[in-house]
Structures are given as structure tokens and as C-alpha cells.
Amino acid sequence: MSTKFEFETRSIHSGLERDELYGATSLPIYETAAFAYQRAEDLEAVFAGRKPGYIYSRINNPTVAAFERRINSLEEGLGAIATASGMAAIATTVGTLTQSGDEIIASKSLFGGTLQFFNEVLASNGIKTVYVDPTDIEAYRRAFSSKTRLVFVETIGNPKLDIPDLRAIARLANENNVPLVVDSTLTTPYLLEAKKFGVNIVIHSTSKYIAGSGQAIGGILVDLGNFNWRNSKSELLVAMTRQAGEFAFLARARKQILQNTGSCLAPFNAFLQNLGLETLALRMKQHCENALRLAEFLKTQDLVGVNYPGLPEHAQYQLAKEQYRGFGAMITIRLGSKERCFEVINRFQMVKQLANVGDAKTLVIHPASTIFHTYSEAEQETAGVYPDLIRISVGIENIKDIIDDFEQALTGR
Amino acid sequence: MQLKINGKEEEVQLKVGNITELLAVKNVEMPEMVSVELNGEILERAAYETTLVKDNDQIEFLYFMGGGCVAWCNA
């Protein structure tokens, strides 16, 4: 029997096992390193993959598994693997799909941490990243080579806020027998139905909207079950299909990459983030509503520029409207100078300055002097970062209080 | 019919004779997560309904995703 419940219902019920011992309805936190078996034959069978079971929490864990099932249900995927952080999810995915000598095609407009991973970790390990303007489909087309193993984009560029045409990119990627990997952190499973647009692997930093209150770091990757790994250009993946069939990507990701590199999600963090999922839909609605109202307010202020995908003048406003259930809650403003940015940031009373996004609290940061500080001005500009730009992650406080704090910080009154 | 399941010879009674029925009759844990290897070849999940087993077939039930039990709510 399989009744498909709606998103909000699945976000509360999916993945939770019936508690045979006590009838508990909240996810038990299996804060344990390992799992004992009475019989040697049973542990042997679990290691051989003949019997489902838990061995060691670096490999899998019941609390983490419940979180994986819930996310998998929300993304309607084949399976999900949780990791210690969003970056670990990216690293595990790339590690599963590539080896030295391979290439990846990536949007130029990416989170600073992801750029650093590609430029400093992958590059020195023989994996080349070919960067493209995410909104230029011809640029992707030109970037493909026989060595390309994946295409990587963010649903909303951080912090450029540009939006890729997922369907078009997915089509192109699949024509080249290469999976499309999408970082949907700023949209979440609620705003983007990744599978519907042909995305093959979707990744989230669950530290953000999924956790909900900036309380725990985590990540997750989901195989949406729509890429035939037998056609993969990675011989290691093709070899895995002979053992694991359509689970080849997930099997290699968990048993060969995650298990051996070790960036597993802590059970307590999985518990917290699983809890966050229960209110994700409600919170995303409020985040988006607040962001639009704040963006409209900011347009009335003395600023050089206001950027928000939900403003009709945004270059990809229509595309965002078609692809996403809401325009997200990221806004950037330009104030004319770094000095003015710093003055404004220093005046905030409720809004917090810190390096994070997707928190219930409204957050700001000056990316050029922080997240992107190791990059030159030219490199920063490529990613949509300017010396006079402030990035805002709009929270779910009462919008009146958010607007009031921005008004006094901007005007100094 | 005689089948070799996970290395053991067994006598199994089947009506329909497909993989789906075999999974149910053998009470295979977590049928939604199990991979089935028939005579050394991994089967697509979509083929479980249509693939029939015959006498002396060798079947392996394998799990690649790691543990976990059937979800309480089948959603």
C-alpha cells in the first residue's frame, strides 16, 4: 500500500519507524558509535550486504537514516545520504562521480566555499572545473568535453541571485550522458521540485532552512533516480551497476566515498534537522513573504541597487516564477561604498551579522570582506560580489520589526 | 521449485512465480531497498513484476544503502 501524502504531511510523518518498544512518536536519538550482534553469522551477513543492518555510525545510523528517508520522501528520490555538512555533500557527490583527469562544468555564480573546494581542493587533485555563466545555455554547450563528468549549479546563485534554466541544462547534460547536480540549499525541497525539472542529484546544506534556526550543521545528497548509471562515463560507476543496479551511485557514494572519507552526520544533528523539516513549508512561506516586503521597502530607500528574484525587474523573474514555488529569501543591496556598508551593519540592533543563511533570524553579511575575502575584485565580480554589497538572509521575525531595524540602520535615525 | 537463495538451497512454492512474489514469500526485509541478483545479473526494480524464476535459479538479496526498516507511514 502506498498512499501519496502531500508535502506538509510527509514532512511530519515520513521516515519515522513505529517504535515497537515504547510507542514513542518522536525520533529516537541513537547516540551510539556501533551496533552489537549476538550471532557472528548476522554481523557477517550485514557486512556482506545480505542482511540490512547497522554496523558503525560513520557508515549509517538509525537516527540519520530516518532523516535521510524523510528528505528522500520530500524530494521523491531513489535514496538520500546525509553528511556532516553541505560541503561534505558536495565533496561526496563529486568524489563519487569523478577521478583525477576528469572535468566538471560549474556555474560561475557559486557560494564562496564551493568555489574554494573546486579551485583549491579539486584542482590540485587533477579535477578541472570549467566555469560558465549559469544563464547562458550556449556556454554550457561549448564547455562539454569527453572528460566532463557532471554539471553543477545553484538554484539561486549565492550571492548573485541569478537563476539557471534547470530544464534546459538538464536536457543538455543528459544528451551528453552526464548528470546535473543542483545545490538547492536556497530553495529547499519545498520551493523546488527538483525531479520535475530533470535534476539528477540534488544537494542541500541542511544547516540552512532545513535545520531552521541556525543550530546545527549538516548536508544531504539525493539521487532522484532518473539517471541511468549504466550510461555513466565513470567506469567506476558503471562497474558498480553490475553489483548494485540502479543504486550504483548511492552505493558508491556511501560505501566507497562517505564510509572511507568519513564525513558522516552526527545523530543529534540529524534529530534536530529532522525536526526542522516538520515546519519547513510553513517557514519557507513566511521567509518568502517577508523577503518580498523587505525588498519592496528597500527599493524606497536611498540605495544604489536592490536585487531580489521576486522583484519583476529581476532578469530571471519569469523563470524563477515557473521553476520555484516562491522567490526565496535572499536579497542583496548595494550602498555605494564599503564604508557605508560597515556603518549600516554596525547599526543593526536585531538583525545579526554572521556567516550563515537560512535562519529564522534575519542575517546580514558583507561578502567581499568575509566569505570572498581571498578573491580579487575581478574574481569577486564574476561571482556577483562587490565592495559595496550587503547580502541579506531574510528571517521569519515579524516583518514590521525587520523593516524598522533596516530603516534605522540605513538612515542612522 | 528448487532455488538457491543467498547461497542456500531451498524448496519454494510460488503461484505467480515472479520476483515480487518471491520477496513476499521469503519475507525479505525492506523490499523497497533490496537489490536482487538473478543468476549473477542485477535486476532493475521495475522488472520485479515481470521477471519469473525457474527451477535451479540462483538468487541473491543484497542491500547497498545501509540499514533502516520500513517506514511507519508509507509516504
Contacts A231 to B, Cβ<8 Å:
none
Q: Give the model's pLDDT for residue A80.
A: 95
Q: A58 in contact with B at a CB cutoff of 8 Å?
A: no
Q: Which of A5, A18, A254 faces B66 most closely, judged by CB atoms? A: A254
Q: What is the CA radius of gyration of chain B?
A: 12
Under DSSP, the state recorded for A76 is: T
CA distance A373 to A369: 5
Q: Which range, of A85-99, A315-329, A370-384, averages the lowest pLDDT?
A: A370-384
d(CA A250, CA A255): 8
Would you tell me how many other CB atoms lie within 10 Å of the CB of residue A381? 14
Q: Does A43 touch chain B (CB under 8 A)?
A: no
**Contact check, Cβ <8 Å, A244/B60:** no
Query: Distance between CA A184 and CA A156 in Å, rounded?
Result: 8
Q: Which residues of A touch B69 (CB under 8 A)?
A: 17, 52
Over residues A303-308, the mean pLDDT reads 98
Give residue-wise pLDDT tens across range A163-183: 999 999 999 999 999 999 999
Count how many Cα atoms sit within 13 Å of the Cα of residue A118 in the half-sphere of its side chain: 23
CB A250 within 8 A of CB A79: yes
B54–chain A nearest CA distance, Å: 22
Domain ranges of chain A: 7-30+61-277, 281-411
A281-411: what fold?
Answer: Aspartate Aminotransferase, domain 1 (3.90.1150)
Asked if A15 has any chain B CB less than 8 Å from its own CB, the reply is yes
Q: What is the pLDDT of residue A361?
A: 98
Evaluate whether A111 touches A158 at the Cβ level (below 8 Å).
Answer: yes
The confidence score (pLDDT) of residue B35 equals: 86
Is the pLDDT at A228 greater than 70? The verdict is yes
* Cβ <8 Å between A250 and B62: no
- Give the one of B33, B64, B69 whose C-beta lies nearest to A17's C-beta: B69
Across the strands, what pairs with A131? A106
Using the Cβ of A13 and the Cβ atoms of chain B, whether some distance falls under 8 Å is answered with yes
CB contacts, 8 Å: A250 with chain B = 64-65
Mean pLDDT calculated for residue range A29-39:
96
pLDDT tens, A326-375? 999 999 999 999 999 999 999 999 999 999 999 999 999 999 999 999 99
Facing residue for B65 by CB, picked from A2, A14, A79:
A79
Nearest to A109 by CA among A372, A395, A335, A374: A372
Write down the pTM of the prediction. 0.93
pLDDT at residue A50, as a whole number: 84
With a cut of 90, say whether residue A81 has pLDDT above it: yes
Q: Can you give the pLDDT at residue A166?
A: 98
Q: List pLDDT tens digits, range A50-76.
A: 888 899 999 999 999 999 999 999 999
Alpha carbon of B37: minimum distance to chain A alpha carbons (Å): 8
Does the pLDDT of residue A223 top 70, yes or no?
Answer: yes
End-to-end CA distance of chain A: 62
Q: Do B68 and A60 touch (CB under 8 A)?
A: yes
Chain A positions touching B58 (Cβ under 8 A) are: none
For A60, A201, A276, A278, the CA distances from A265, given in Å and listed in that order, are: 9, 19, 15, 19
In eight-state DSSP terms, residue B18 is B
Which of the two residues, A318 and A60, has the higher pLDDT score? A318
Cell of A404: 524598522
Residues of A with CB below 8 A from B71's CB?
A: 14-17, 69, 73
Nearest by CB to A247, from B65, B71, B74: name it.
B65
- Give the pLDDT of residue B63: 81
For A269, the grid coordinates are 544533528
Predicted confidence at residue A3, as pLDDT, reads 58
pLDDT in tens, B8-44: 999 999 999 999 999 999 998 877 778 899 998 889 8
More confident residue, A247 or A263: A263
For domain A7-30+61-277, the CATH class is alpha beta
- Separation in Å, CA A261 to CA A183, A211, B1, B13: 21, 24, 45, 45
Query: Considering only CB atoms, which chain B residues are within 8 Å of A278?
Result: none
Q: Which of A308, A70, A2, A61 is nearest to B74 (CA)?
A: A2
Q: Extract the C-alpha cell encoding A263.
A: 564525513
CA distance A356 to A110: 15
Q: Which chain B positions have a beta carbon within 8 Å of A10's beta carbon?
A: 75
Is B68 close to A247, i.e. CB distance below 8 A?
A: no
Contact A202, A75 (CB under 8 A): yes
Instruction: For chain B, say whether A244 makes contact (Cβ under 8 Å).
Output: yes
- Tell me the CATH class for B2-63: alpha beta
Task: Using the predicted structure, report yes or no on whether residue B45 has a pLDDT greater than 90.
Answer: no
Are A60 and B30 in contact (CB < 8 Å)?
no
Distance from CA of B24 to the nearest CA of A (A): 14
Quote the pLDDT of residue B65.
61
Specify whether the CB–CB gap between B4 and B10 falls below 8 A: yes
B75–A14 C-beta distance less than 8 A: yes
Report the Cα–Cα distance between both ends of chain B, in Å, rounded. 35
- pLDDT above 50 for A320: yes
Could you give the angle at which helices A399-411 and A338-347 cross, rounded to 10 degrees? 130
Cα separation values, A272 from A63, A206, A218, Å: 10, 10, 10
> Number of CB pairs < 8 Å for A and B?
95
* In chain B, where the domains are located: 2-63
Of B62, B64, B68, the CB nearest to A65: B68
Per-residue pLDDT tens for A178-215?
Answer: 999 999 999 999 999 999 999 999 999 999 999 999 99
pLDDT at res. A244: 86
Which residue of chain A is at minimal alpha-carbon distance from B42? Answer: A245
Mutation target vs B (from A2, A8, A12, A17; most B CBs, 10 A cutoff): A17
Task: Give the integer Cα–Cα distance in Å for A16 and A135.
Answer: 40
Q: What is the DSSP string of A265-332?
A: PPHHHHHHHHHHHTTHHHHHHHHHHHHHHHHHHHHTSS-SEEE-TTSTTSTTHHHHHHH-SS--SEEE
Residue A243 cell numbers, joined: 553489483
